[in-house]
Amino acid sequence: MSKTMKIAIVDDEKDMRQSISQWLALSGFDTETYGSAEDALKGINADYPGIVVSDVRMPGMDGMQFLRKLKSVDSTLPVIMITGHGDVPMAVEAMRVGAFDFLEKPFNPDRMTELAKKATQARRLALDSRALRRELSDKDALMRKLIGASPTMERLREDILDLGQAEGHILIEGETGTGKTLVAHALHAVSARSSRKFVLLSCSAYDDDTLSRRLFGPPQQDEPMPAVEEARGGTLVLEDVEALSGPLQARLLTAINDQGSPAETRIIAICNLQDEGKTCESVLRPDLFYRLAALRITVPPLRQRGEDILTLFTRLSEQFAEEYGCDTPEISAQEAAQLLQAPWPGNVRQLINVAERAVLQNRRGTGTIASLLMADTDDSAKPAMTTEGKPLKEFVEAFERMLIDNTMRRHKGSIVAVMEELCLPRRTLNEKMAKYNLSRSDYL
């Protein structure tokens, strides 16, 4: 979708549509004009990257018929109606049908610009959410978004698709850096609310008074709309929900109860408790906890994701190498084993840092993976190796898969080139690719 949203201006009066087009163009919008609703419908589809401004009184298909037709094509498409004097009852009916807003002639051009900005912002959010939902609803695309072929990641993706379609509130738990916020985005994207607002609020980012205003209002001057109002009908994500004070927990519980069932707004609570002996259940009042934890997802720590660690490291290294304009570092079997054995207390967030520093080290021609892992280990912590022993066979297979994957990617799926570089006969290469679920088509 282009960054500049389009505005389709539909009016049978040439002077009027040109006047509106010129004004909106001066305001930075990309406009296109149509002399009739019939012509406009030829250029407006369900994914039209913009909004519509239409007159009500037009020969042939009038504005109300046009509005109903547009809403049947895409119910989320914002349509601003322009009415003449005395057409206010018709404008009220247009709002009931689903018009974004209406302007009565003669209208203030600045008011037109203000409405256009609000409508295009709403359209951009709806299209972005729709695109993400389409991506995440496709299992293959979802796997690319939430990288990993380990059983724990397979289960996580299945949980997202299942719970995303449910109506209850959701509690997401997991260690820091595992990607809980990404999971919250995914849950919203695959839900029936995907075209509605997604509002994210960190409960640990404000003092109690500010958080109360940000969550429930009333806002002070220049503060945004309260989160519970902004997210109405959509999804409200509360990060660090364990940071809510007793009084705010009580207010949140009241707000949830006032919604009734099914809830108008879905709440996704993210818990980041790390202290031993403390859980989200132990710090939230029981009635609130059981409301928020109607459905639960636990995001797996990186150390439990097996060879996903090497897959993620490879993808991240490639991205950083491209960003810094240098070669992707090649890692040895020993370094692959070190990556697999590391405890990763910072999880994916820590892996991102290690991958970036590995690329910078490689550009300078100094340093090792082991040194980066040791640098990330607290002096008081145990050595940077997991206590979960893994058979040598697992390390060998993980490294072998990574090696074939990297080589296939580098040679863009050329089997002959991969055979030559790895000194493997075709049959052996085919067998290993089948064993590791690697397909040549993924690299073309």
What confidence tens digit (pLDDT) does each residue in 222-256 have? 778 899 999 999 999 999 999 999 999 999 999 99
Is 105 part of any domain? yes
pLDDT of residue 211: 93
* Alpha-carbon span 184 to 181, nearest angstrom: 5
Q: Is 289 a residue whose pLDDT tops 50? A: yes
What CATH number corresponds to the domain at position 214? 3.40.50.300
Q: Are residues 345 and 410 in the same domain?
A: no
308 plus 290 within the same structural domain: no
- Which among 19, 14, 68 is positioned nearest to 41, based on CA atoms? 68
Q: What is the pLDDT of residues 186-215, one digit of tens each?
A: 898 888 888 888 999 999 989 999 999 999
Please report the pLDDT score of residue 134 as a whole number: 66
Of 247, 268, 300, the position where a domain reaches its end is: 300
pLDDT-derived band at 388 (thresholds 50, 70, 90) equals: very low
Q: Looking at the structure, tell me whether residues 337 and 403 fall in a common domain.
A: no
With respect to residue 387, please indicate whether it lies within any of the assigned structural domains: no
- Residue 414 resides in a domain: yes
Same domain, 179 and 62: no
Give the best-scoring range by mean pLDDT among 129-143, 163-177, 362-376, 419-433.
163-177
Cα 438 from Cα 226, distance rounded (Å):
48
Residue 386 belongs to some domain of the structure: no
Residues 119 and 166 both lie in one domain: no
pTM for the full model?
0.60
Last residue of a domain, which of 300, 335, 354?
300
- CATH number of the CATH domain containing 314: 1.10.8.60
- Please give the pLDDT value at position 390: 55
- The DSSP element (H or E) to which 235 belongs, if any, is strand 235-239
Spatial separation of the C-alpha atoms in residues 420 and 435, rounded to whole Å: 20
Contact 42, 34 (CB under 8 A): no
The pLDDT score that the predictor gives to residue 382 is 40
121 and 162 part of one domain: no
Same domain assignment for residues 180 and 257: yes
Among residues 134, 162, 186, the one where a domain terminates is 134
In a domain, 208, yes or no: yes
Instruction: Tell me, yes or no, whether 16 lies in a domain.
Output: yes
pLDDT one-digit tens code per residue, 338-383: 888 888 999 999 999 999 999 999 888 877 888 888 776 554 444 3
Residue 382 resides in a domain? no
How many domains is the chain built from?
4
Answer yes or no: do 39 and 162 share one domain: no
Same domain for 280 and 157: yes
Query: Would you tell me how many other CB atoms lie within 10 Å of the CB of residue 64?
Result: 19
| Whether residues 196 and 290 fall in one domain | yes
Domain assignment present for 230 = yes
pLDDT of residue 200: 93
User: Is pLDDT at 143 greater than 70 in this prediction?
Assistant: no
- Please tell me whether residues 294 and 145 are part of one structural domain: yes
First to last CA, the chain: 25
Q: Which domain holds residue 361?
A: 303-377
pLDDT in tens, 89-117: 777 888 888 889 988 888 888 999 999 99
- Residue 393's pLDDT band, with cuts at 50, 70 and 90, is low
Instruction: Inform me whether the pLDDT recorded for 173 exceeds 90.
Output: yes
